[in-house]
Every structure is written in C-alpha cells, then in structure tokens.
Amino acid sequence: MSAGGSTKAIVAALLANLGIAVAKFFGFLFTASSSMLAESVHSVADTGNQVLLLVGGRRAQLVPTSQHPFGFGRERYFWAFVVSIVLFTLGSAFAVYEGVEKLLHPHELESAGWAVAILLVAIVLEGLSFRTAVHEARPLKGSGSWVRFIRRTKQPELPVVLLEDSGALVGLGIALTAISLTIVTGDPVWDGVGTTCIGVLLGVIAIVLAVEMKSLLIGEAASSEDEAAIEAAVVASPTVRHLIDLRTEHIGPDAILVAAKVEFRSELTVREVADAVDAIERDVRAAVPAATRIFVEPDVVRPARAEVLESTDAVRPGDPAR
C-alpha cells in the first residue's frame, strides 16, 4: 500500500471529524448533555490526531542524515504512538471525568431533539469516513481478519483511522442510546452512564493503539512472507552454499533492513565474492522492493552448526556433505 492510500483515509477522517466536532459542540450548547460534550471532545481529539498522522507522514520523507543514516521512516510510528496518548488523555480521561460528574450531579437535558439529530448526521459522516478507511486498507488486509490486519500491518495510519472511526461509530451509538433513554425515562443519569461508557471505550482503543505502535517503534521483523522471499532470493544464488543467519527489521512502514550471514563456495576469489554479494542484493530487492538496506556478511559454517544447517531449507540441494 502506498502512502497515498493512507493519506486519503487520513484526510477523509480529518474533514469528517472537523465537521462533526463543530456540530457536536453546538449540540452540547443546546442540550447541556455530557454525552454530547464527551463526543465533542472525542471528535476534537480525532481531528488533532489526523493532523499528527499527516505530520508523521511528512517527516518520514526527510532525507537520511549522518545522525539518522537509515532515514526517518519510524517518525510515522512515533506520531501514531502520540495519537494513542492524545486519545487516552484528551478523549478517554475527559469522558470518564464528565460521566462520573454527571452521575454524581445529574441535570435535565435541554432540546434533546437537537442532540438526536446531530448524532444521526454524525453517524452518517463517520460512516463515510470509515468506508474510505476500509476501502484503502482492504488490499493490505487480503484474506485475513481485520484483527490480524491491525496486529500485523506495518502501516500505522490505517489501523489508527480504522480504530478511531469504528470507535467513533460505537461511541455515537452509545451517546444516541443514552440520550434516548434519558428522554424516555426522564432520568438524566443515563446520560452520565453513556458518557462513562464512551470514556471506557476510548481508553480501550487507546491502549490497543499504544501496544501496537510500541511494538513497531521497538522494531518488528519483516512478515513471514517477505522473509521467505528474501531467503529464497539468497539461497537461489549459485555462489551460495549456506544461508547461516538472516535478520530483518522494519525501519519504516515501507523500508526493511536485511542482515544476512552467508557461506559462499570456497573456490570463489575475493572479487567474485564481492560480485556475488552485489548480485544477492539485486535479487533480494527484486523479490522484496521494501528491502532498502541490505548487508551480507561472508562467513563459514562452524562444525557444530553444519549438521543443523544441512537439515534446513537454507542448504542448497546438491551440496556435498560437510
């Protein structure tokens, strides 16, 4: 997935959340509903979060420097992690506080019809934003589940937008239910219950995002499919006897660092080994274009490891016994 697909989903969410935030805030002024206030702050937080994601995408394009020789690809992970913090503090904590306050000091709703109308419009707008995010993420998801996509994808923006939009839709449903129950029963406590539930929901989403972005920030290996393709490209070289070790790490959503320890055929000269390394790098990049940094270290299989390596696919067919 290109960065353009993520940007399209972010911009769609930004425009939707900005309009919804304004509408919800006016709804709060008319109704004095804590659920509407919680949803207003939620949308403001989401709007700010989209801006942070755009900042991360912009900074990730900076050229490498001597201090950051592998580039700034992880900026996208960092700003997505900041989003989880903003969502927890500005969205979840505020909503829980307002909900508890409303439960302790309930007060009647005013012009509840305005709140219902605004929430219905917000559901439509959030639904459109969510549909855009799903459309952009579907090619990356493939046949796997959405949960697996959120846990395994190296693109931070789409999971953030998907979780925010889905959380917003659920939150709008909670707010609509809480206000409806308040209207039907005449008991404003339901408004406080709804606000508290929205806060808990946002807290869960924020924690999920923080855990996933923390993993990406620390450094995750390439997918099993990419690692298999890299390994196949290395051992396919006629100059390679054994792939001794292979390590990969995402240094950005679209950039993989590859480090391989390889035993070449013993009859090769130093120049031939250098040419073989260059050829392996070309083959790996052809197999996995995201492999932007490749380091191949020539080595020799130690006797203690020879038997282990010969029992794996890393040993080339036809190699003589060692």
Q: pLDDT tens digits, residue range 265-303?
A: 989 999 999 999 999 999 999 999 999 999 999 998 876
Cβ-based neighbour number of residue 303 at 10 Å? 8
Q: pLDDT tens digits, residue range 229-253?
A: 999 999 999 999 999 999 999 998 8
Local confidence band at 310 (pLDDT 50, 70, 90 cut-offs): low
CA dist 32 → 91, 108, 115, 164, 177 (Å) = 18, 8, 9, 25, 16
- Domains for the chain: give ranges and CATH numbers: 3-218 (1.20.1510.10), 224-310 (3.30.70.1350)
Global pTM? 0.74
- Give me 80's structure tokens: 């997505």
DSSP tag of 87: I
What is the distance between the alpha carbons of residues 144 and 316, in angstroms, rounded to a whole number? 32
Q: pLDDT tens digits, residue range 17-59?
A: 888 888 878 777 777 777 777 777 778 888 888 888 888 888 8
Report whether pLDDT(258) > 90: yes
Q: Which of 152, 1, 146, 163 has the alpha carbon at shortest distance from 80?
A: 163
| Per-residue pLDDT at 318 | 41
| Per-residue pLDDT at 320 | 42
What is the distance between the alpha carbons of residues 239 and 275, in angstroms, rounded to a whole number? 10
